[in-house]
């Protein structure tokens, strides 16, 4: 076949609303590619999926496939400068990453459109002639080890590996996929193996063009994209490598009918019920697992979850196919248990099998399948556009599994009703095929085994069919039944016409009263039958103490709990809602098809207005919230450091430890008394956007005002002028360095972390773009120096920070190699080194960076949710600069290189007169001695050690608040 010759295939199925063009091609080296042309795109993207993953790791070299994924980023024969690929992508407005799965490894990036061809050339070299130097190999093993260190205390990783461990000895599924210093350095060396030699050998044996699937997304015509692919990827070697296939099932009889008790890291109780099943990929048009997952995981009245919730035994349930390959799969039901539920494990398993028995007795229902199929079809044909980088990854992953016509569809369109294929999987969800994993801290001290890679303590008990039948017999006699027909499925998907005077670029203030303010933005971009509604209840009483903040949290959870069995149908039909606490009240968000949105909105509003506390549900939610607070101490150390940073800077933030102290003393009566007080004074801020007419938007807010603010005894009254809430941020002193040291909250965590924050200015277009340009230019050099060269830790980042309009940048580093004090010195050393890079930058490089940032700013929103999120942040923060992108682009076009240097010298440079830094150090147990030593070290000039956050916060000046200032919001 000639290079790039197209193969004649059936047309690729695409959504009715999809205007993009697609073409499948084969190169003469057998690489398959899908080309996507989208003239409207602001970003180009590529993804290469290689059909080799961690299942192919050689014995004794666990994590080698993952390690190779890391190494391919370093350098190539054509581009030998280390990290030059990442540098090019980041400097041209893009992102790059990769992941290693069981049977494939995926590499991907996006970039500004005018730089795609060169970025693609650099990317292609991964697969042609990568360089894997001895020095880089040794350094990157440390990065893999650091990545593994951050996972060691994660229950998700631990329980996943435990399930793998309890399988056939030597089966690929059983492997430890991440790798660490031991598997990639110590053990190979002890056997006389050279890891770099094994790495190159693994690459040469497995990275063959016939195992590669490439997706390119560009604004160019298909012919031009095809020429690029032919030019850049035809040199990839084809060794006609066979695709990996698992030799057998991972579970034999000895691994079934087991009850595994395991000790998690976090508080809480969980049941994972697992069955080996027929992979759905073999019947993806029939969707047997989708059908069964829909029913077993349903949350409406009569469902398994509804019954468990009513009994006070569960707070969450999910069901469906989990891990799957062409050869094997697992169907999982995961149940989050309450303390009472933990005591009724046998009853819960009994009820689960009663529901499965109900499904068998009811027969496979055609109307349920047809309804599910209709929901899936609407979702596919009216899907939102997503960022190209996500789109190409999804498709390249599908290319390995599905025939070409279904590359875009995958298994998302079950269309063939096949009772026999559903029945086959249903029969596999049997008593004699089960594996039960039961997690609880209550098992501590009662286990006799340890999983080798993560150290999870567990024990195993064999269970018999007669035992489970006994559990079924004794389970409560509850009215389990199938779901009702879904009234929320949209039938009107027509688009509202936008009036001439409504053809607005930005949200408009539709109406303002003493009770509310409504912003409105009709859809002029996406031609989608969807809407976005945000209703923000500003209630000063909600956030005036740790106690009221916790009560508001429980209030919103109880509302969601109360609405769940009704609103779950809406979510199945593609209409999503959420009620969540905020720093000064709570907010309701609805997003999805507009047809029946008003019905759901009125139900939510009615539930808020008529709220009554149910003591039994209060107890369950209180227990759930308490566990979540208790588990905050198990956050990653870098997350703890970011929390302390927010606690120091944000004047109106309460510490979670105080809220945890309050929780045990709260009762249902406290909430019953609090809610009327909270609602007694309120101001409602609304944002309504999408396929909704002006009159509908006005009618919505009128309905809300009628419910809450009208009548002789209204639930709410308008705020007094003095009550409008603000968002004040601590103003650090110029020329000062502040340091807050804290011991890690989890004494078993080896990792330490540093957040090095540099506060710069209050929102201002000119200063914003200087800060953004610095962050863009410094991001990759910081990563290269601190992560690739110095190997401080896997988590190493330089990002911007915005606290309610107060701007700055922060370095975030998590490490077992150095403690926070030493990491802080390395950050300052990097900044000193970066000075010369900035001063030596050519005018051409400066202009290139400016243009990259302009392109990033001019990127259009992909969908209604993304657009609404951007405008809502302006409203929520009080900045109300809807033309931010355009104004900042104008400022960028005027910016000179000298002005950027002056900005750096004034605000960022170490020792700069206006520099304001706050370093938060969280000390893991490897560096606890440094914590003690550094606490007592004498202070340097112009530095302050923060001992007490709240004394410090009270002693500092504050920036002015944007929120609560209404001058710029005229009708």
Which residues are designated catalytic? 69, 140
Q: What's the sign of the alpha-carbon dihedral 496, 502, 504, 508?
A: negative
DSSP string, 575-644: EEEEEEEETTEEEEEEEEESTTHHHHHHHHHHHHHT----HHHHHHHHHHHHHHHHGGGGS-HHHHHHHH
* CA–CA gap between residue 546 and residue 680 (Å, rounded): 19
**635 and 924 Cβ atoms separated by less than 8 Å:** no
Question: What is the Cα gyration radius of the chain?
Answer: 29
Q: Which residues pair with 810 in a beta bridge?
A: 757, 799
Burial 117-132 (b: 16+ CB within 10 A, else e): bebbbbbbbbbbebbb
Alpha-carbon separation of residue 298 from 324, 355, 486, 571, 863 (angstroms): 22, 11, 12, 11, 28
Q: By the 8 A CB rule, do 437 and 445 touch?
A: no
Instruction: Collapse the DSSP code of 137 into the 3-class scheme (helix H, G, I; strand E, B; otherwise coil) and give the result.
Output: helix
Three-state SS annotation for 663-695: HHHCCHHHHHHHHHHHHHECEEEEEEEECCCHH
Return d(Cα 379, Cα 120) in angstroms, integer. 32
Element (H, E) at 894: helix 884-894
CB neighbours of residue 3 within 10 Å: 14
Which residues are CB-contacts of 280 (< 8 A; sequence separation ≥ 6)?
Answer: 287, 288, 289, 290, 321, 324, 329, 411, 425
Q: Report which secondary-structure segment, H or E, holds 215.
A: strand 212-218
The count of other CB atoms within 10 Å of the CB of residue 750 is 17
Four-residue CA torsion sign, 953, 954, 959, 965: positive
Cα separation of 71 and 65, whole Å? 10
Total count of residues recorded for the chain:
971
Helix, strand and coil content of the chain, in percent to the nearest 5, comes to: 45, 20, 35
Distance separating alpha carbons of residues 205 and 219, to the nearest angstrom: 35
Nearest CA to 24 out of 411, 412, 403 is that of 403
Angle at 942 between CA 938 and CA 944, to 5 degrees: 60
CA distances from 148 to 141, 151, 157, 182, 783 (A): 11, 5, 10, 11, 19
Q: Coil, strand or helix: which one is 368?
A: helix
Residues 6+ apart with CB under 8 A from 948: none
Residue 758 phi, psi dihedral angles, 5° rounding: -115, 110
Answer for the pair 371, 486: CB distance below 8 angstroms, yes or no.
yes
Query: What span, in angstroms and rounded, lies between the C-alpha atoms of 308 and 335?
Result: 10
668-680 and 546-572 helices cross at what angle (nearest 10)?
90
Residue in 579, 578, 562, 563 with CA at minimum distance from that of residue 616: 562
Q: Locate the DSSP E strands across 744-899.
A: 752-762, 796-803, 806-815
Output the CA angle 127-781-125, nearest 5 degrees: 10
């Amino acid at each position: 076949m000639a290079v790039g010759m197209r193969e004649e295939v059936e047309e690729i199925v695409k959504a009715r609303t999809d205007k993009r063009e697609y073409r499948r091609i084969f190169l003469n080296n057998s690489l398959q590619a899908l080309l996507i042309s989208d003239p409207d795109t602001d970003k180009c993207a590529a993804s290469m999926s290689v059909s080799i993953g961690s299942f192919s790791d050689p014995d004794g070299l666990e994590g080698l496939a993952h390690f190779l994924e890391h190494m391919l980023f370093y350098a190539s024969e054509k581009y030998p400068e280390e990290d030059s690929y990442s540098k090019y992508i980041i400097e041209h407005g893009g992102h790059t990453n990769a992941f290693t799965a069981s049977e494939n490894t995926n590499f991907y990036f996006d970039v500004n459109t005018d730089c795609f061809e060169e970025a693609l050339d650099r990317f292609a070299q991964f697969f042609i002639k990568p360089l894997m130097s001895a020095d880089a190999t040794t350094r990157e093993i440390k990065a893999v080890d650091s990545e593994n260190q951050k996972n060691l205390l994660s229950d998700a990783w631990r329980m996943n590996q435990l399930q793998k461990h309890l399988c056939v000895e030597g089966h690929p599924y059983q492997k430890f996929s991440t790798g660490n210093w031991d598997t990639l350095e110590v053990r190979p060396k002890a056997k006389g193996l050279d890891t770099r030699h094994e790495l190159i050998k693994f690459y040469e044996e497995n990275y063959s063009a016939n195992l590669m699937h490439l997706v390119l997304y560009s604004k160019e015509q298909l012919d031009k994209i095809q020429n690029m692919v032919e030019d850049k990827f035809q040199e990839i070697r084809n060794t006609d490598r066979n695709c990996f296939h698992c030799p057998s099932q991972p579970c034999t009889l000895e691994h079934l009918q087991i009850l595994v008790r395991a000790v998690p890291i976090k508080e809480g109780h969980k049941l994972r019920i697992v069955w080996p099943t027929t992979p759905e990929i073999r019947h993806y048009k029939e969707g047997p697992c989708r059908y069964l997952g829909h029913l077993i995981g349903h949350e409406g009245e009569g469902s398994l979850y509804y019954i468990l919730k009513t009994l006070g035994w569960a707070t969450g349930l999910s069901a469906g196919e989990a891990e799957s390959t062409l050869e094997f799969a697992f169907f999982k039901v995961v149940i989050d248990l309450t303390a009472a539920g933990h005591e009724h494990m046998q009853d819960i398993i009994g009820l689960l099998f009663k529901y499965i028995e109900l499904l068998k007795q009811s027969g496979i229902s055609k109307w349920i399948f047809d309804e599910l199929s209709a929901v899936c079809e609407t979702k596919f044909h009216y899907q939102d556009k997503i960022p190209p980088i996500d789109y190409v990854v999804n498709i390249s992953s599908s290319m390995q599994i599905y025939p070409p016509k279904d590359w875009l569809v995958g298994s998302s369109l079950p269309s063939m009703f096949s009772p026999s294929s559903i029945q086959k999987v249903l029969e596999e969800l049997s008593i004699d095929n089960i594996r039960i994993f039961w997690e609880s801290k209550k098992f501590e001290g009662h286990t006799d085994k340890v999983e080798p890679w993560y150290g999870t303590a567990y024990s195993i008990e064999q269970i018999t069919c007669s035992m489970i039948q006994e559990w079924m017999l004794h389970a409560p006699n509850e009215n389990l039944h199938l779901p009702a027909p879904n009234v929320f499925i949209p039938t009107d998907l027509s688009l509202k016409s936008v009036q001439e005077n409504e053809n607005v670029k930005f949200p408009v203030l539709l109406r303002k009263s003493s009770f509310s303010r409504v912003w409105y933005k009709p859809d002029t971009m996406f031609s989608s039958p969807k809407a976005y509604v945000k209703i923000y209840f500003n209630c000063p009483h909600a956030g005036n103490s740790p106690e009221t903040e916790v009560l508001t949290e429980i209030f919103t959870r109880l509302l969601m709990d109360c609405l769940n069995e009704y609103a779950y149908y809406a979510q199945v039909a593609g209409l999503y809602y959420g009620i969540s606490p905020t720093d000064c009240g709570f907010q309701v968000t609805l997003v999805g098809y507009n047809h029946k949105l008003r019905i759901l909105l009125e139900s939510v509003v009615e539930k808020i207005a008529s709220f009554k506390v149910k003591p039994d549900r209060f107890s369950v939610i209180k227990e759930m919230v308490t566990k979540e607070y208790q588990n905050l101490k198990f956050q990653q150390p870098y997350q703890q450091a970011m929390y302390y940073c927010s606690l120091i800077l944000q004047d109106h933030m309460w510490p979670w430890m105080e809220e945890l102290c309050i929780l045990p003393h709260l009762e249902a009566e406290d909430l019953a008394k609090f809610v009327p007080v909270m609602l007694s004074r309120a101001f409602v801020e609304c944002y309504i956007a999408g396929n909704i007419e002006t009159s509908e938007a006005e009618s919505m807010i009128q309905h809300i005002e009628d419910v809450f603010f009208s009548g002789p005894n209204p639930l709410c009254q308008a705020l007094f002028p003095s009550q409008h809430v603000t968002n004040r941020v601590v103003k650090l002193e110029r020329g000062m360095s502040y340091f807050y040291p804290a011991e890690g909250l989890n004494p078993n965590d080896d990792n330490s972390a540093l957040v090095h924050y540099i506060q710069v200015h209050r929102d201002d277009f000119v200063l914003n773009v200087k800060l953004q340009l610095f962050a863009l230019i410094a991001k990759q050099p910081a990563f290269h120096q601190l992560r690739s060269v110095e190997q401080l830790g896997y988590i190493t980042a330089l990002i911007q920070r915005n606290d309610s309009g107060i701007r700055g940048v922060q370095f975030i580093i998590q490490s077992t190699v150095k403690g926070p004090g030493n990491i802080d010195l390395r950050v300052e050393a990097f900044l000193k080194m970066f000075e010369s890079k900035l001063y030596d930058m050519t005018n051409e490089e400066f202009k290139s960076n400016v243009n990259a940032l302009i392109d990033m700013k001019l990127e259009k929103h992909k969908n209604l949710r993304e657009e609404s999120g951007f405008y809502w942040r302006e409203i929520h923060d009080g900045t109300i600069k809807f033309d931010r992108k355009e104004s900042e682009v104008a400022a960028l076009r005027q910016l000179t290189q000298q002005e950027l240097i002056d900005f750096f010298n004034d605000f960022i440079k170490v020792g700069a007169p206006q520099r304001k830094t706050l370093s938060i150090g969280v000390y893991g147990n490897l560096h606890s001695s440094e914590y003690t030593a550094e606490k007592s070290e004498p202070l340097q000039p112009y530095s302050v050690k923060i001992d007490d956050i709240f004394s410090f916060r009270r002693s500092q000046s504050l920036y002015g608040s944007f929120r609560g200032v209404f001058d710029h919001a005229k009708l």
